[in-house]
């Protein structure tokens, strides 16, 4: 089995996903400024747009993609509330 190596772009995309996910349901003005800046620079109008795009188009590492899909599904289904 071939081991997947992550590119710097993929690492940066995953980090943006992790940072933006807690603000998935927030309006853009309520997101902290450093994260707003990173979203704006990458062309995203909201944390939700960024999270969905990163999961669907930027992550190619199976382990990262699986983890991100699981986190995104939980956020969408339960609005981030703990059970």
Lowest mean pLDDT among 13-22, 25-34, 50-59, 71-80: 71-80
Q: Which of 42, 43, 22 lies closest to 32, judged by CA?
A: 22
- Confidence at 8, pLDDT banded by 50, 70, 90: very high
pTM of the complete model: 0.88
Q: How many Å is the Cα radius of gyration of the chain? A: 13
- Residues counted in the chain: 83
d(CA 3, CA 21): 27
Is 16 strand, coil or helix? helix
* pLDDT tens digits, 10-45: 999 999 999 999 999 999 999 999 999 999 999 999
């Amino acid at each position: 089995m071939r081991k997947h190596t992550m590119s710097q772009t993929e690492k940066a995309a995953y980090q943006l996903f992790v940072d933006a996910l807690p603000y998935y349901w927030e309006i853009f003005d309520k997101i902290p400024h450093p994260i707003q800046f990173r979203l704006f620079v990458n062309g995203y109008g909201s944390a939700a747009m960024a999270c969905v795009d990163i999961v669907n188009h930027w992550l190619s590492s199976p382990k990262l993609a699986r983890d991100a899909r699981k986190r995104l599904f939980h956020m969408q289904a339960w609005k981030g509330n703990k059970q």
